Structure 1
Amino acid sequence: MSVSVKSLRSLRCLWRGWRGLSSQGGAINVFDRSMKRSQKQWASSLLDSDKYDYLRDEVGSRLADRVYDVSRTFPLALDVGCGKSHIAEHLNKDIVERLFLTDISDSSLRNRKKCEIPTQCVLADEEFLPFKENTFDLVLSSLSLHWINDLPGAFRQPVFVIQIHQVLKPDGVFIGAMVGGETLYELRCSLQLAELEREGGFAPHISPYTAVTDLGNLLGQAGFNMLTVDIDEVQVHYPGMLEVMSDLQGMGESNCAWNRKSLLHRDTILAAAAIYKEMYGNEDGSVPATFQILYMIGWKPHESQAKPAKRGSANVSFADLSKIGTLQTHHQKTNEKS
């Protein structure tokens, strides 16, 4: 019996699709975690790996700013999926007294950046945190959550976020950053249009990302309160599309979804590069790549935290907002007479 190359490719796609629909503890298995480990190991072992750290360093700095906004000292903190420790280098001992670093890649931990905070490294998969309940005062995570299998949808129990909630002490805070759904839309659109033109169809080449509308649901389902979610945008300019793809590989951010397409034809790549430059190119010949960054803050409940007022307890009506100027003038005149 003979089997064509096309048939083998179809069988491979069906296998990947089946793996993508399999579940572990109720979470859909979207990503090949062993491949992600290999990608991060390879990227962090490059001799010039530091030149690909610009995005992680920038987001790590912005996330550290949000830690400083919380006016307290954290005796014990955890950085989940720390990479080469891109957050810790922006913190000091006055804010975080001791820090645990965890990552799926031991090469990343070995090549971590220097910081003044006493640290301890733990090699662990982000999907299975090996810590006891009520351990940490602060949990951080920057640009690693988008590879977690139970995050892409908000209509299932967010197992990983529940784990973060469990390892936090009461009144502890989780501060995280992850890429959002509009990330790399230029690259995604260019590849899809090129494949439609050259191959008559397209396959996903960019990882599925969590939408900002899902984050509140994820944190709320896990038991966090006093939630804050905000969006930032980082745009990086490159000579062309090939440089965008090369840098993503150097960051360890290549797609690892089970249903990814294993091969991109040369003609499709060249066509996509031309489409990218035509649709999104700048006047100087460079092309932009947009990274949508979602920041989230959630607190583990504690009796000392402020409680929202009861429904119906307000003594001012929204209907009076249009008269606020008149009310202020009347109040001022009353005070002057007094």
Structure 2
Amino acid sequence: MAPQPPLINRETLDLHRRRAERAEGDFFLHEEARLEVQDRLDMVNKSFRDIAVVTGFPELWKTWFPEATVVEDTDTLALPEGRFDLVIHAMALHWANDPVGQLIQCNRALRPDGLMLAVFLGDETLKELRSSLAEAEIALTDGLSPRVLPMGEIRDLGGLLQRASFALPVADKVVRKASYETLNKLMRDLRNMGETAALTQGTRTFTPKSLFDLTERIYRGNFAEDNRLIATFDLVCLTGWAPDESQPKPLRPGSATTRLADALGTNELKLPENGHR
């Protein structure tokens, strides 16, 4: 059996990213991601001296973390093993062909008790556009083409940390909404952030204007407020620590010395021997 081709075409993705850099557009999603990273670092009672940032836009993130080692999110990360006490994977994991592999490499780059923060786009991102585009394409062609990047749900993404052997794993997300006058302005913002589709199996045919016209009409009919198109952006944050003996460990089953009823200050309900009330 022939091997499956990778989901993401890295050559196309790199082309889109370099085009976005030349456009000098508004990287507002990256700014939101940076704020989420900073908020989480402010809550950690620990200072970090040796920092690495993994991203598709090294020059942008270098301005925010000038003392950090900033590397591109290539399949093999240019990070020495055991070199850092903080690794930030910045707005790139949703484009990874092997997200677990990326996280494993981040873990290996950390010293014991080092912190990894990954911020990237989750499954609710552009849900309005996805729905409208799918409905329009079915109406015009009676089928669907692979046009939009699939993204993971929070309940699945948290499992990536455990697969990558991180300790104390946490997955959470924040949802941001933006509004646009037209579909064209939304698409322009996505192009200027390098967030347009780069799928290996993506459609190779010319997309007719009629598809976008119908998509906008459906979008405006279902997801508009004050005649502006609402766009959802779902920022997922994964937090994990490189294992270390100093970290808290879960108690062994059966080792509790206090009854739950006593801890809660309630009376324990006694059941009959047959187990029924």
Q: Given residue 63 of structure 1, which amino acid in structure 2 is its aligned partner?
A: V
Could you say which residue in structure 2 is the equivalent of 1:8? none
Residue 73 of structure 1: which of 22, 47, 61 is its match? 47
2:122 is equivalent to residue 174 of structure 1: no
CA shift at 1:325, angstroms?
6.2
Could you say which residue in structure 1 is the equivalent of 2:207? 264
Indicate if the aligned counterparts of 1:64 and 1:87 stay in contact, CA closer than 8 A: no
1:257-281 CA distance string (max 9 Å, x none): 1111233211111000000000101
1:118-137 alignment, distance < 5 Å: 125-137=73-85
Q: Given residue 279 of structure 1, which amino acid in structure 2 is its aligned partner?
A: N
1:292-303 alignment, distance < 5 Å: 292-303=234-245
2:223 is equivalent to residue 275 of structure 1: no
Q: Given residue 131 of structure 1, which amino acid in structure 2 is its aligned partner?
A: L
Q: What TM-score comes out, normalization by structure 1 length? A: 0.74
Quick one: distance in 1 between partners of 2:253 and 2:207? 57
CA shift at 1:215, angstroms?
2.0
Could you say which residue in structure 1 is the equivalent of 2:272? none
CA shift at 1:61, angstroms?
1.2
Could you say which residue in structure 2 is the equivalent of 1:234? 176
Quick one: distance in 2 between partners of 1:241 and 1:312? 58
Quick one: distance in 2 between partners of 1:279 and 1:241? 13
Indicate if the aligned counterparts of 2:179 and 2:228 stay in contact, CA closer than 8 A: yes
1:106-128 CA distance string (max 9 Å, x none): xxxxxxxxxxxxxxxxxxx4321
Q: Given residue 138 of structure 1, which amino acid in structure 2 is its aligned partner?
A: L
Could you say which residue in structure 2 is the equivalent of 1:54? 28
**Structure 2 gaps, min length 5:** 269-277
Could you say which residue in structure 2 is the equivalent of 1:324? 265
CA shift at 1:241, angstroms?
1.7
1:217-275 CA distance string (max 9 Å, x none): 21111110101111110101111222111111111111001111233211111000000
- Return 229-238 or 307-316, whichever deviates more: 307-316
Q: Answer with 1 or 2: which has the greater Rg.
A: 1
Query: What is the aligned-residue identity percentage?
Result: 28
Quick one: distance in 2 between partners of 1:249 and 1:82? 14
Provide closer, same or farther for how the CA distance between residues 70 and 85 of structure 1 changes in structure 2, counting only shifts above 3 A.
Answer: farther
Indicate if the aligned counterparts of 2:261 and 2:267 stay in contact, CA closer than 8 A: no
After superposition, the CA RMSD in angstroms is: 2.2
Quick one: distance in 1 between partners of 2:86 and 2:59? 16
Q: Indicate the structure with greater helix content.
A: 1
Could you say which residue in structure 2 is the equivalent of 1:26? none
CA shift at 1:141, angstroms?
1.7
CA shift at 1:87, angstroms?
5.4
Could you say which residue in structure 1 is the equivalent of 2:139? 197
Q: What TM-score comes out, normalization by structure 2 length? A: 0.89
Aligned with 2:103: secondary structure?
helix
Provide closer, same or farther for how the CA distance between residues 279 and 191 of structure 1 changes in structure 2, counting only shifts above 3 A.
Answer: same
Could you say which residue in structure 2 is the equivalent of 1:145? 93
Provide closer, same or farther for how the CA distance between residues 84 and 61 of structure 1 changes in structure 2, counting only shifts above 3 A.
Answer: farther
Indicate if the aligned counterparts of 2:132 and 2:219 stay in contact, CA closer than 8 A: yes
- Ranked by relative contact order (alpha carbons within 8 Å, sequence separation 6 or more), the top structure is 2
Indicate if the aligned counterparts of 1:185 and 1:290 stay in contact, CA closer than 8 A: yes
Residue 228 of structure 2: which of 286, 308, 326 is its match? 286
Quick one: distance in 2 between partners of 1:171 and 1:82? 26
Could you say which residue in structure 2 is the equivalent of 1:64? 38
Quick one: distance in 2 between partners of 1:85 and 1:210? 27
1:31-62 CA distance string (max 9 Å, x none): 0001111110111012xx1x421121122112
Could you say which residue in structure 2 is the equivalent of 1:31? 8
**Paired residue total:** 266
CA shift at 1:311, angstroms?
1.4
